[in-house]
Amino acid sequence: MSDSRPAAPISAAPLDWSAQAAVLFDLDGVVTPTAEVHMRAWSVMFNDFLALPDAPGGGDRSPYEADDYFAHVDGKPRYDGVRDFLASRGIVLPEGSADDDGEALTVHGLGNRKDSAFNEVLERDGVEAYPGSVALLDHLADLGTPLAVVSSSRNAAAVLEAAGLTDRFVTVVSGAVAEELGLPGKPAPDTFVHAAQVLGAPVERAVVLEDAVSGVRAGAAGGFAVVVGVDRGVGADALTAAGATLVVGDLAELVPARPGAAEVQ
């Protein structure tokens, strides 16, 4: 699990936030530690499926590991994550439909089973935002910078509500919104570009904050002014290779230290 304690803020933030027209946040792993909940839900769902006797689809049935999450699932729309993981194992399942229940051995059925597991954990345990992320949100609020959440998760609005952050963002482009608008998900840049348009900001003056390789690639492909990679476990090298112009371990590192203020421990 990642450490939710914010890093000590540096004396001068590497970004001039006052020069940015908008800031676009991924949600899970950037604002809230719900990436860990997603990771557990994916692991339970895939390993239950892989262990089924006489399961359809053939392919490699060895257990799903954390590396599979970062390589094939992290940051992508849910059904894309299912497809990409199954393809990596040579497992072929029918697509099914979005109405499939969690017992259906289809791409949509597995995706819906994962979604149910995530919602159960969220309802049971709730969620609190990373303190460093709240510190950056506070700083941007002081500047009056318009903010958006751009998340592949269909549950983004529920997560924000559970964390008490709904009113911090002008718009939330969730997986459900992307599907409704016909926007391809990350690593395509379309959801980020759409959010910038809603905020009235040119991409050349907007910042993307992402913890997933697919999301960083989306920001880089969109031509955004800065793409910040937040390393919650994927690795700084992987984020840089995907196109991050700056990598931090926590968003507290991007908050300018106030003169005379004590460092956050």
In this predicted structure, the answer to whether residue 261 has a pLDDT above a threshold of 70 is no
Instruction: Give me the pLDDT at residue 259, please.
Output: 60
In this predicted structure, the answer to whether residue 12 has a pLDDT above a threshold of 70 is no
Q: What is the pTM of this model?
A: 0.76
Burial of 66 by CB count in 10 Å (0-12 exposed, 13-18 middle, 19+ buried)?
A: exposed
Active-site residue, from 28, 100, 190, 231? 28
First to last CA, the chain: 19
Instruction: Give me the pLDDT at residue 260, please.
Output: 53
Instruction: Give me the pLDDT at residue 50, please.
Output: 95
The reply to whether 142 belongs to the active site is: no
Instruction: Give me the pLDDT at residue 35, please.
Output: 81
pLDDT band at 38, cuts 50/70/90? Answer: confident
Centroid of chain to Cα 82: 16
41-48 average pLDDT score: 93
User: CA 62, CA 5: separation in Å to the nearest integer?
Assistant: 34
In this predicted structure, the answer to whether residue 29 has a pLDDT above a threshold of 70 is yes
The reply to whether 138 belongs to the active site is: no
Q: What is the pLDDT of residues 62-112, one digit of tens each?
A: 999 999 998 999 888 899 999 999 999 999 999 999 999 989 999 999 999
In this predicted structure, the answer to whether residue 2 has a pLDDT above a threshold of 70 is no
- The structural domains of the chain, ordered by start, are 17-33+128-254 (3.40.50.1000), 36-125 (1.10.150)
**Phi and psi dihedrals of 209, rounded to 5?**
-120, 120
- Parallel/antiparallel/unpaired status of strands 226-230 and 246-248: parallel
Active-site residue, from 3, 16, 26, 115? 26
For the ranges 36-40, 155-159, 218-222, the maximum mean pLDDT occurs at: 218-222
Closest CA to 1 of 38, 45, 50: 38
Q: What is the pLDDT of residues 187-203, one digit of tens each?
A: 999 999 999 999 999 99
What string of DSSP letters covers the chain? Answer: ----SPPPPPSS-SS-GGG-SEEEE--BTTTBTHHHHHHHHHHHHHHHHHT-TT-TT-S--SPP-HHHIIIIITTS-HHHHHHHHHHHTT-------TT--TTS-SHHHHHHHHHHHHHHHHHHH-----HHHHHHHHHHHHHT--EEEE-S-TTHHHHHHHHT-GGG-SEEE-HHHHHHHT---TTSSHHHHHHHHHHT--GGGEEEEESSHHHHHHHHHTT-SEEEEE-SSS-HHHHHHHT-SEEESSGGGGSPPPTTPPPP-
144 vs 35 pLDDT, higher one? 144
